[in-house]
Amino acid sequence: MCVGGANVDRKAKTIAQFEKGTSNPGRLTTSSGGVARNVAEALARLGAKVSLVTVFGDDADGAWLKKTTARAGVYLGHSTILPSKRTGTYTAILDCSGELQASVSDMALYDSLDFGFIEKKWLKIEEGDIVFMDTNFSAEVIEYIIGQSLDRGKQLIVNPVSTHKTKKLPDNLSGIDLILPNRDEAAVLSGIDIKTPDDAIEAGRQIRKRGAARALISLGAEGQCIVTDEESRHIPVLMTDVIDVTGAGDSHSAGVIFGLSTGKSLEVSAKLGTAAAIQALRSKHAVHPELSADKLYKLTGEPA
């Protein structure tokens, strides 16, 4: 079960090297997005049975987004439409190499979500073997889901989304089984300036002191770090050419969840996450349309 944002992504990619403060020639594309939505689509393409709890605006963007998400194999029966509201959008500016230069999120829609909606949906949410949550909803909703997961013994996995939205997480992270921050988000959560894998491991320890059972911190080209009761270790990354970075972190989350849902260790699941991220980096889409479990296992060399 995935809980969180579903947006329309608009990406402007420059043809030449990006120049700040001036007009850059480029091309504009529109695609489905939103962290929870992207994770749900990636899981569906990996063969998982997945539902999405989100809100759509009552507009053409929302209708299109619902259609494309359902077509990818995601069940939307637990989602809703907010009348007279605009669907969330994410607009990114990428340089010619596909690296993000700036982005703007228009997601006021999520601030309009009535807290009672999540309360009413909780019994459906906890039906999932694993609950995944991003931080697009309000701090009140986020804290409620974490608390319910703790009380009900649900396996909750959280992607903090961004440094700004990371601050919505409560001080007490008890109830989160696994948190998946990137370098900058982990720095916000831990108060540690992360420059090396050792710094990331220490950040993971500080995050665990706040209550999260496990932390998996992504360091981009420097790999990722696992911090649990049993181990603290750095895992090097597989390298690849980059077409577009948008959605790579979401695919990483999906690969990790897929691995855990099929009984793999966190280390193997982390490697599957990296493989899923590589697929996203090789595509102009947030989720590679040909993403599959077979491709992940082939990339990692791990047995299925």
- Tokens 């396996």 correspond to 155
For position 271, what pLDDT does the model report?
95
pLDDT digits (tens, 9 = 90+) for 112-141: 888 899 999 999 999 999 999 999 999 999
Could you give the angle at the alpha carbon of 179 between the alpha carbons of 176 and 183, nearest 5°? 150
User: Residue 70 and residue 256: Cα distance in Å, rounded?
Assistant: 22
What does R_g of the chain's alpha carbons equal in angstroms?
A: 18
- pLDDT of amino acid 241: 65
Residue 239 has pLDDT above 70, yes or no: no
Please tell me the predicted confidence (pLDDT) of residue 163.
Answer: 94
* pLDDT of the residue at 270: 96
Residue 61 has pLDDT above 80, yes or no: yes
Residue 49: is its pLDDT beyond 80? yes
Residue 222, classed as helix, strand or coil, is helix
Phi and psi at 14, nearest 5°, equal -75, 150
Residue 59 burial by Cβ neighbours in a 10 Å radius (0-12, 13-18, 19+): middle
Helix and strand totals (H; E) in the chain: 10, 14
Q: Which residues of 65-91 are buried (b: 16+ CB within 10 A; e: fewer)?
A: bbeebeebbbebebbeebeebbbbbbb
Confidence of residue 81 (pLDDT cuts 50, 70, 90): very high
- Write out the two tokens for 65: 């987004």
- pLDDT tens-digit series, residues 186-201: 999 999 999 999 999 9
Low-confidence winner among 13-22, 53-62, 94-103, 247-256 (lowest mean pLDDT): 94-103
Confidence of residue 283 (pLDDT cuts 50, 70, 90): confident
Domains of the chain listed by start with CATH number: 2-17+26-103+116-300 (3.40.1190.20)
Across the chain, what does the average pLDDT equal? Answer: 93
53 Cβ partners below 8 Å, 6+ apart?
1, 2, 3, 4, 36, 78, 79, 118, 121, 124, 125
Give 246-303 as a DSSP string. Answer: TTHHHHHHHHHHHHHHTT--HHHHHHHHHHHHHHHHTSSSSS-TT--HHHHHHHH---
pLDDT for 244 equals 64
The 3-state DSSP class for residue 153 equals coil
Question: 251 vs 77, 264, 299, CA distance in Å?
Answer: 23, 17, 14
Confidence tier at 16 by pLDDT (50, 70, 90)? very high
pLDDT of residue 99: 85
Q: Which of the residue ranges 49-53, 86-90, 243-247, 276-280 would you say has the lowest mean pLDDT?
A: 243-247
Structure tokens at 26: 């480029």
Q: By CB neighbour count within 10 A (0-12 exposed, 13-18 middle, 19+ buried), where does 170 fall?
A: middle
- Residue 206, number of CB atoms within 10 A of its CB: 15
Nearest CA among 265, 270, 261 for reference residue 299: 270
| Predicted TM-score of the model (pTM) | 0.91
